[in-house]
Structure 1
């Protein structure tokens, strides 16, 4: 019988991997937001008339959404990697 191995998500290296995935997601969210503003003049017009708060809400929504998605995907990748080894 095999000894039960603890999950790599709880270890310091697992947390660093998850933080890396979250940061990659945040960067992707910013890039997507910039691409959306540059490719769609209606979005740029709404942001310019909305003021600073509209820009902050727009950026934070995209960054948070992409960061959460990338973190969850990274957790799945780490767990699948553990099962294979």
Structure 2
């Protein structure tokens, strides 16, 4: 007799909602981190943005937001796959 496999937690609607929530949280954290870097200016980022224009700021902030968002979503996916029910 074959046992019926339980579907992965990632496939369910609640699992997808959890992934989206964690991705959104990561994007918000990335935005906050980028803004803190701009305000504190520890390595001259604000000076570079003033010289080069707003496109440099948009690309830098977008990169940080995307990186944090993907990292948070992947972390949640790993936690969901290793969860014991």
Same-fold status (TM-score > 0.5):
yes
Matches within 5 A, 1:3-18: 3-18=4-19
Partner of 2:81: 79
CA distance in 2 between counterparts of 1:76 and 1:27 reads 20
Residue ranges of structure 1 left out of the alignment (5+ in a row): none
Partner of 2:52: 50
Partner of 1:67: 69
Residue ranges of structure 2 left out of the alignment (5+ in a row): none
Structure 1 segments (4+ residues) deviating >6 Å: none
Higher relative helix content: 1
Question: Over aligned residues, Cα RMSD in angstroms?
Answer: 1.4
TM-score by length of 1: 0.88
TM-score by length of 2: 0.88
